[in-house]
Chain A
C-alpha cells in the first residue's frame, strides 16, 4: 500500500499497563483481555489519513518490566513518536513515568513526539491517579496527554492519530529533515506502491507480524 509518510512509534511504560492491548485495539479494533506477555518486540501497523495524505504508522510494542529497560534502548532508534502509558488504577505505574521519560530523552531523538496516556479509563471506580495529575505531569514535561481505554476503545484512535497530527505539523513547520530517517519518518512514493508495497499492505491488514 502506498503512503506519503511512514512514522515509527514505540509504546513504552510499566508492565501490565495495557501497551499490547492499546496496539491491538488500534490496529485490529478489538480488545483481547488475555494475550501473551511481550518479551522482545511486537509490531503493528495501520494506515491513517492526515490532511488527505495516507500515512502509515508502524508501531513497536515493547516489554515493560524494570529489568528490560536496559534493553529497550535499541527500540528508540528512529522513532518519530512514543506513547508513554500508565495505568490510572495503579499509582506506581504513574510514579515511574519520570524514569521512562529519562530513558526516552536519552535514547530517542530530541524531536520525538511523546503522548502520555492514562490507560484503563473504563475502571474509573478504581482510579488511583486523577486526571489533573496526569495533565500536570504532561504539562511540566511538554507532552500531549489523554486518558484512554483499550477495552472500550475510548480515545484510542485519537491518541495514535493526534500524535501523528503533531508529527505531521512538525514536518510542515520544517522541524525535521525528512530525508534523514533517524527522525523516524520515511517519505513514501505518493500514489506509486513502494518497493515493499505488498508486504506493507498485508501487515496493516493483519495488524502484526505474528498473527
Chain B
C-alpha cells in the first residue's frame, strides 16, 4: 500500500528494487530524489519520474534487440555490412543493398542494442577496416614501444585518470585507470600532433565501457579522430572545435532565429556549452544511454550529427530560453536539460524530425569558417609572443 507508506520506506524500496519500480501517483508527487545505477554503471541522481523513464528505456532497448535479432534471422548475421553498393555487385544485389541501407539508417536512429554495439560500431565506423591495414600485433607493439616513456601528454593523462568519471565501479579502479591509460598514451604516440587533449579521456573511457576489448576501443578512438570527426578538433589550439562552433552558431541562426537573436542580445556565446559537447561528444553532458544513442548515429552518419543534437537541445528549450536575461541562466537551463535527458528518443526525435530539412552543406560551411578561425588563433598567438618578448627585453 503506497498510500500509507512513509517516504523513507518508499525510497529504500526504490533503491533496492529499481528494476521493477512502478511507484504510485503519490510517490511521483513526492518528488523524492533517488540514486541509482544506469545501464553502464554510472550513478544517476534523479527523481522517481527519471527512474521510471530509465526503466522504460530499458524496455525499449529490449524491444529494439528483438527487432535486430529478427533481422539477423531473416537477412543473415552480418546483413548490415552489405549496405555499400559496389560496382562488383550484380544489379539484383544492388537493390537489396539499397533496401538494407535504408532499413539500417532508420534502425540505427532507433538505437543499436547494447550487446550488438561493439560489433556494429566496429564495422560501420570503419575501425575494422583501419585495423585490417596494419599487422595484427600493432596495438601490442605500440604499447611495448611506449612503455616507460614520459612526455607532457603522458603526464597530463596520469593527472586526469582519476578525474575521469570518478566513482564509476570499473573506470575508477586500478584496472580501469590502467586500461584507459594504455589507450590514451598509445594514441598520443600514434598521433603526436594531437598528443592528448582533455575531453579525449571521457570519450576513450566510454568506448572502453562499450567495446569488448581495449584494443577495439583504441581503434574506435583512432577512427573517430582520423575519419569521423572534423579535422583538428583536438589539436593544440582546438581549431576544428572553433570551426564547428561557428558552423553551429550559423545553423542556430537559420534554424532557431528567435533563440539566436535573444542569445545575441544577452551576449551568450554558444562556446560556453558547446565546447564540452563537441570535445566530449556529449559523454559528459548526457546520461550514458542517451550519449551512446547519439554515438550510434555518429558512427554511421558522421560528425554533422553532433550539430543536429546541439540544435535539438536548444530547440527543446526554446520557450524557456527566450525568458532568460542572463548568460548564467541560459547555461543553467541547458545543463539541467542535458543532465536529465534520460529518454534518448526525446532528443533524437527533435534532432531528426523537428528541425526541418538540414539543407546546409556542412563541409562547405566548415570551409567557409576556417579562414576566420585561423586568423583569430594566429592573432592570439602573435599577441602572446610579442608580450613574451616584452617581458624578456
Contact = CB atoms under 8 A, between A and B. Distances in A.
Interface of A: 8, 15-16, 34-37, 39-41, 43, 58, 63, 65-68, 70-71, 74-75, 77-78, 98-99, 102-103, 106, 195-196, 199, 203, 209-210
Contacts of A16: 159
A203 B332 contact: yes
Nearest to B284: A39
Contacts of A41: 272-273, 331
Contacts of B160: 37
Interface in B186-206: 197-199, 201-202
Closest 7 CB pairs of A and B: A40-B276, A74-B269, A37-B163, A39-B276, A34-B166, A209-B332, A65-B198
A209 B329 CA distance: 10
Interface stretch (B67-75, B222-230, B380-388): B380-388
Interface string B220-240: 000000000000001111100
Nearest to A37: B163
A211 to B, nearest CB: 9
Interface in B327-358: 327-329, 331-332, 335-336, 339
B284 A36 contact: yes
B275 A71 contact: yes
Given A15-B198, A63-B198, A210-B339, A71 B238 contact: yes
28 contacts: A8-B328, A16-B159, A35-B163, A36-B166, A37-B160, A37-B202, A39-B275, A39-B284, A41-B272, A43-B328, A65-B197, A65-B198, A66-B236, A67-B197, A67-B235, A67-B238, A68-B275, A70-B237, A77-B269, A77-B327, A78-B327, A98-B391, A102-B384, A103-B384, A209-B331, A209-B332, A209-B335, A210-B339
Give the bracket for the number of chain B residues in contact with chain A: 35 or more
Given A36-B163, A39-B276, A98-B387, 7 more contacts: A34-B163, A40-B275, A40-B277, A58-B328, A63-B275, A77-B267, A98-B388
B198 A68 contact: yes
A74 B272 contact: yes
A102 B380 CA distance: 10
A68 B276 CA distance: 11
Nearest to A42: B335
A199 B330 CA distance: 12
Contacts of B11: none
Contact of A43 (B162, B165, B332): B332
Majority secondary structure, B binding face: helix
B246 interface: no
B332 A70 contact: no
B140 to A, nearest CB: 29
Contacts of B242: 70-71
A102 B271 contact: no
Counting chain B CB atoms within 10 Å of each CB, the highest count among A16, A102, A103, A199 belongs to A102
Counting chain B CB atoms within 10 Å of each CB, the highest count among A35, A63, A71, A74 belongs to A71
B290 interface: no
A13 B329 CA distance: 25
B163 A195 contact: no
A58 B329 CA distance: 11
A43 B328 CA distance: 8
Nearest to B277: A40
Nearest to A60: B328
Contact of B329 (A40, A68, A71, A199): A199
A120 B272 CA distance: 28
Contacts of A74: 269, 271-272
Contacts of B273: 40-41
B298 interface: no
A196 B325 contact: yes
B37 to A, nearest CB: 17
A8 B335 CA distance: 19
B156 interface: yes
